[in-house]
Structure 1
Amino acid sequence: MSNSQMFTHINGELGLIVLESCKELGEKINEHIKARRKVEGNFLLPAREIRFSNGEGKVKLTESVRGKDIYILCDIGNYSCTYSMFGIENHKGPDEHFQDIKRTVSAIRGKARRITVIMPLLYESRQHRRKGRESLDCALALQELERLGVQEILTFDAHDPNVQNAIPLLSFENLYPTYDILKTIITEEKNIEIHKDNMLVISPDTGAMDRAIYYSSVLGVDVGLFYKRRDHSTIVNGKNPIVKHEYMGRDVENQDVLIVDDMIASGESVLDIAKELKSRKAGNVYIATTFAFFTEGLKKFQEYYDNGIITRVYSTNLTYISPELEKAEWFKRVDMSEFIARIINRLNKDQSIAKFMDATYVIQELLENKVSK
């Protein structure tokens, strides 16, 4: 009898298929579930992602999945995964990771009781709507998973949750790491004072305003907004360059500020905003984001930290964090493995996860505990 066969539930045995892109996070999730259920053994089901020398690939499962409740974990943003093609080392991009998800579902061959795909970073989430003659990648991808027999999709902080309208009959859960981010900030920043008289939450653009308003409301502080003035006559790296960031909000002098966004790509925007805030004599500048890509490296962030412009950057481990970033003194990782383990544990037992969709109450408890200390 295999390890996974030891854990039988009326709702189907739990099986975790963790693709190589999500190995570290998946192993932590497995350990948390084992601890919650007080069991020995392993919920992980082995899966081999095979690449042929010409770049073609396949996924092979080496253990039965019949009747199991399968959860497939994949980080489509993990650029550290490599394979050899014609003797050249290639790094996997989002397209290749998504193809491996489809290969895994195909290898299951309809034998599982239920298939849930956990994509913390939603595939093609920034291409969620059409503007003129262009592709609609995210919607097409979600519909493809539905056709393959996936019953549920879990993701975090989707760029636009409305994309779920492309699959109206499929369960689509968009989760947020707000509580875990704030808990980590409060734990790490011993001297931080969260009060309306000495702190603001800043939205880096109009698109992130809803997120900033939520942070400000649960923290009980004011909110400010930067508006990106772009040059729409020019396109650089697929987007219109920013001419200037215009600020709307109350005075930031001597105020600590928390800039919140869903992702950091190059980081140009948040660094420009941090510089603008410092020119207005702001205190500590903290940056909190769900996904940190740092597509143009870490050098500029280190420079801004050394010059006292930014104090700390907080981001989750929902996408790949390089060893170099992990070591940076200005960066703190927010571990989401326990949160995901709780979600999987409840879903496997057909229990509601509604209380995990709104973190307001637990955040208020967190803040009360900080005050009492």
Structure 2
Amino acid sequence: MRDDVKIFSGSSNPVLAEDVCRLLGLPLGEVMISRFTSGEIYVNIKESVRGADVYVIQSFCHPVNENFVELMVMIDALKRSSAGMINVILPYYGYARQEKQDSPREPITAKMVADVLTTVGAQRVITMDLHAAAIQGFFNIPVDHMTALDLIADYLRTKDLSNAIVISPDAGRAKTAERLATYLDLPVALMNKRRPKHNEAEITHVIGEVEGKVPIIIEDMIDTGGTIIKVIESLVEHGARPEVLLCATHAIFSDPAPQRIQHPAIQEVIVTDTFPIQKLHAPKLTVLSAAPLFAEAINRIHHNRSMSMLFAESSYQGCENGES
């Protein structure tokens, strides 16, 4: 990497940023972030960024709104410091679950976040496993939408999957489940659910033969874990083995998720570090590092190389067939 690449981290996930810098052989940029007594955010970039290719790593984890505003202030500071290119790495894109109106007079907050990022000065966004892939279209700047699916698949291949089945917990994850099933050469089943309100779900049907199978559930995120537990209990009721492998990219783990993932039917919970993983008493938890993916993305973007090489061969075949 040339000297004109600068990587900075907000307060949300500095460990991930440090891992990315270590893989690239670059120092983490020096920035001072503090709060006034009133709670307002102050940022001071402590090194020259004039003309540099700058990458800011910030995940919208708890406290979401604080981290969002902090990112906006950092981008503005970089823009006013004459940074050459401001690339924003959002390991987790917050407000992605508000990407459409499900009832009258609701906001489309995912679009608002895209507008604010662009207006304040972001010139490129790199993110991972959006809750809805269509959010890419909310931007008028380049968006690189990466996936942890290959990372998760590589880990699962180390296990005995001779009697496993991939489970999509809802219709929205069906394509992802099908891709994972293709990677692992496994059958796939689909859960049908409805949501009476936020963070609640009711399972209505199980589509597919799960009896006697080890379920591999693939999700984009685990928030409170309530929906997942209902999916697992429904699978067990339909004869699936209580040895669930629960996979997700984003480990939000809002209370009471840390307790729920101790469910006796869960054999292992496999997540990435797009969220800072707190020290949980969770022997079932396996955390895969997303740093190599982000480091490779930075390397390829900076050298104007194709991003498609980051994904498995089956991913390009999907793109050639019109999938995203």
Pairwise mapping of residues 230-269 of structure 1 onto structure 2 (< 5 A)? 230-231=195-196, 235=197, 238=198, 241-250=200-209, 252-269=210-227
The structure 2 residue matched to 1:296, chosen from 255, 280, 290, is 255
1:222-237 alignment, distance < 5 Å: 222-231=187-196, 235=197
Cα pair 1:154 1:172 within 8 Å, conserved: yes
Equivalent in the alignment of 1:56: 40
Q: Tell me the alpha carbon deviations over residues 72-112 of structure 1, each in whole angstroms, 9 at most, x when there is no partner.
A: 000111x3xxxxxxxxxxxxx21211111111111111511
| Mapped partners of 1:352, 1:161: distance in 2 | 20
2:115 maps to 1:143: yes
Give the aligned partner of residue 229 of structure 2.
271
Matched, 1:340 2:294: yes
| Matches of 1:359 and 1:56, distance apart in 2 | 47
TM-fit CA distance, 1:329: 1.0
- 3-state DSSP of counterpart to 1:311: strand
| Equivalent pair of 2:166/2:181 in contact (CA under 8 Å) | yes
| DSSP-derived class of the 1:124 partner | coil
Moved more, 332-341 or 105-114: 105-114
Tell whether 2:75 aligns with 1:105.
Answer: yes
1:333 counterpart SS class: strand
1:319 aligns with 2:275: yes
Distance in 2, Cα, partners of 1:332 & 1:260: 14
- Are the structure 2 counterparts of residues 150 and 361 from structure 1 closer, same or farther at C-alpha, using a change threshold of 3 Å? closer
Q: TM-score, structure 1 length as denominator?
A: 0.79
Contact 2:101 2:107 in 1 (8 A): yes
Q: Secondary structure at the match of 2:190?
A: strand
**Displacement of 1:71 after TM fit?**
0.2
Q: Which amino acid aligns with 1:321?
A: I
Q: Deviations over 1:235-293 (max 9, x none)?
A: 4xx46x4344421112x232222010111111112212222222333233111001122
Q: Give yes or no for the alignment of 1:30 onto 2:5.
A: no
Percentage of matched positions with identical amino acids: 25
In the alignment, residue 103 of structure 1 is paired with which amino acid? V
| Structure 2 counterpart of 1:216 | 181
C-alpha separation in 2, matches of 1:357 and 1:186: 17
Label 1:114 to 1:310 Cα distance change in 2 as closer, same or farther (>3 A): same
What amino acid is aligned across from residue 182 of structure 2 in structure 1? S
The one-letter code sitting in structure 1 at the alignment partner of 2:116 is: E
Bigger CA radius of gyration: 1
TM-score normalised to the size of structure 2?
Answer: 0.90
> Partners of 1:73 and 1:227 in 2: how far apart?
36
**SS of structure 2 residue aligned to 1:269:** helix
For structure 1, list consecutive stretches of 5 or more residues without a partner in the other structure.
1-6, 35-41, 80-92, 363-373
Q: Secondary structure at the match of 2:12?
A: helix
| Alignment partner of 1:328 out of 279, 282, 293 | 282
Q: Gaps (5+ residues) in structure 2?
A: 317-324
What is the number of residues matched between the two proteins?
A: 312
User: Is 1:118 aligned with 2:76?
Assistant: no
- Find the aligned partners of 2:86 and 2:202 in 1 and give their Cα distance: 46
Structure 1 vs Structure 2 CA RMSD: 1.9
Distance across 1 between alignment mates of 2:146 and 2:278: 24
Q: Secondary structure at the match of 1:323?
A: coil
Q: What is the CA distance between 1:151 and its match in structure 2?
A: 1.4
1:229–1:20: structure 2 CA closer, same or farther, 3 Å change rule?
Answer: closer
CA distance in 2, matches of 1:352, 1:244: 41
What is the identity, as a one-letter code, of the residue corresponding to 1:342? E
Q: Which amino acid aligns with 1:313?
A: V
